[in-house]
Amino acid sequence: MIRRVLFMISSMRGGGSERQTLMLLKHLDRSQFSPHLYVMERAGDLLSQVPEDVPIHSFEDVRKEPVIYLPGGMMRQQIRHLQELLTDESIDVIYDRTFHMTMIAGPASRQWNIPRISTIVSPPALALPLVEKRFVRMKQHRLAKAYQASRQIIAVSKIAADSAANFYQLPSSSITVLPNPVDTDALRQATTKEQKPETALTLDLVCVGRMTEEKGHRDLINSIVMAQANWPDSNPAIHLRLIGDGPLRSDLELQAKTVCNPHSVEFCGTLSNVGPSIINADALILPSLFEGMPNVVLEAMALGTPVIATRAGGTIELERDEPTILWADPRNPSSLAEAILSFASDPKSAVRRTQAATRLITEHHNIEKTCHHLEQYLTAACVNENN
C-alpha cells in the first residue's frame, strides 16, 4: 500500500528547513509513499528543485483578502483550505515542519483524524516570541494542543527537544530527537573546490543565513572590526562574504560601511546554491544567538570547510568525542574576534577539526538513515490510525 504524505513548509526560499524538506522529498521511498508538498506561497529558488512527481499545493492560489479584518481570519482561511485539500487529495499522513505549519495542520487534521508527524526545528522558548510577534501566549497554547495530538513529535536537536518539553508542557518521552541530515554525495557533486594560492592575499570567511536578529550578524561585523584592529601584518586581509537577505540587511550594510575597512565585508544576497561559496571559503562562520540544528554547518562539515561558530542551541551537538568546531560565545563580538584570530594563527588545528567533522557527518547525519527513520514514523502513524 502506497500512502500519501503531505509535507508542509511555508515556502521554498532556501532556509535550513526548506532544504531539509527538499532532501526528504527527494529521498522518500516511492514504493511506500507518494509525497505531496504544501506551501503558503509559491516562492523560492528551491521550488524548481522539487521532484517532478511531487504535486505542489499552495494557499496563495486561493487566498482572499478579507473585506473586514478580524484577528485570526487569515489563519481560519488557511485551515479551511487545508481541510479541503486533505480530503480532495486523500492524504493519509501529514508531516508539518515549523510553528506556523503545525498551528494550521493541528486543527485542520482534527476533522478527519488524519495522523501527523510534527517537527520542531528550534528551541521554542527563544524562537516563538521572536517569530510570532503577536498573541504569543495564545499561539503557545494552540501549539501545545497541536503537538499533543501529533502521532510523533520530532526535534532536530536535544536542546530543541528539552525546550519544547518545558515550553509546551509535553512529556519528554513524547519527543524523539532526529538530527538534521546532509546529502553529502549530492552536495559534493554540485560543488567544485578552486585551487587557492599559498600566498593568498585574503582570509576568506563566509556567513550564510537570513538577516534576522537571532542570526547574530551585528556581532559578526563588530567582531571583524575587533579582529582587524589586532591583525598581524603578516596575515592576509580579512574578507567576509554575507550570503542571504532579510529585514536587517539595509541596517547591516550601513553598519559595515560605517565601522569596517572598505571592501572587507561583501553582501552577496541570496544564492540558489551556496555549496561553492562554502567549499571555497577558508572557513564558515556562524554567529547565531540560538539555533536548532544549523544546516549550513552540516554542509560545511560535509564539504571539509572549517567552522567557527557560537555555542548556540543545537550547534553544540555537532561536536561529540573530538573537536569539530572552533567555538565562540554568543552575543560576544570580542569572543568571535578571538576565534577568528586563533583560526588564522593555527591552520593545523583547523585541519584536524575538519577531519573529525567529516567523520561525525558520516556517522550521525546520513540522509539515508534519517529518511529511513522518518519512513518508519510515517508508517507507524498510519498503522496506529487504522487500528
pLDDT digits (tens, 9 = 90+) for 287-337: 999 999 999 999 999 999 999 999 999 999 999 999 999 999 999 999 999
Task: Provide the grid cell at 78.
Answer: 488557511
Distances (CA, A) of 135 to 103, 121, 129, 138, 142: 13, 21, 9, 5, 11
Q: What is the dihedral of CA 43, 45, 51, 55, to 10 degrees?
A: 10
CA distance 285 to 192: 20
Are 310 and 216 contacting, i.e. CB atoms less than 8 angstroms apart?
yes
Q: Which helix (H) or strand (E) holds 302?
A: helix 295-303
> Are 219 and 254 contacting, i.e. CB atoms less than 8 angstroms apart?
no
Average pLDDT, the chain: 93
Concatenate the DSSP letters of all residues of 143-180 into one string: HHHHHHT-SEEEESSHHHHHHHHHHTT--GGGEEE---
Please, which residues bridge with residue 57 across strands?
38
What the chain holds in terms of domains, given with CATH numbers, is 3-181+366-386 (3.40.50.2000), 185-364 (3.40.50.2000)
The count of residues in the chain is 387
Q: Cell numbers of 27, please?
A: 529521498
157 C-beta neighbours (distance < 10 Å), count:
26
Residue type, position 211, single letter: M
- The pLDDT of residue 29 is 97
Instruction: List the grid coordinates of 248.
Output: 536587517
For residue 67, pLDDT beyond 60: no
Q: Give the Cα separation of 92 and 71 in Å (integer).
A: 31
CA distance 54 to 35: 6
- Sheet of 152-155: strand order equals 56-58, 33-39, 3-8, 93-97, 116-120, 152-155, 175-177
Instruction: Answer yes or no: is pLDDT of 199 > 90.
Output: no
Q: What pTM value is reported for the model?
A: 0.92
Nearest to 364 by CA among 128, 113, 148, 179: 179
Q: Which three cell numbers stand for residue 115?
A: 495522523
Task: Check pLDDT > 90 for residue 196.
Answer: no
Q: Which amino acid does the sequence have at 347?
A: P
Whether 93 and 382 have beta carbons less than 8 Å apart is answered as yes
Q: Is the pLDDT of residue 61 over 90?
A: no
Bridge partners (DSSP) of residue 204 are: 239
**323 grid coordinates:** 573537536
**pLDDT, tens only, 128-153:** 888 777 788 999 999 999 999 999 99
The DSSP call for residue 385 is H
CA–CA dist 14, 34 (Å, integer):
23
Position 166 scores a pLDDT of 97
DSSP state of 47: G
In angstroms, what CA-CA distances link 149 with 102, 263, 280?
Answer: 11, 52, 45
Q: If we measure between CA atoms, which residue out of 96, 123, 102 comes closest to residue 317?
A: 123
Q: Which three cell numbers stand for residue 199?
A: 600566498
Burial classification of residue 329, based on how many CB atoms lie within 10 Å of its CB (0-12 exposed, 13-18 middle, 19 or more buried): middle
State pLDDT tens for residues 72-107.
Answer: 678 899 999 999 999 999 999 999 999 999 999 999
> By C-alpha distance, which of 329, 357, 99, 299 is closest to 216?
329
Residue with cell 526535534: 155
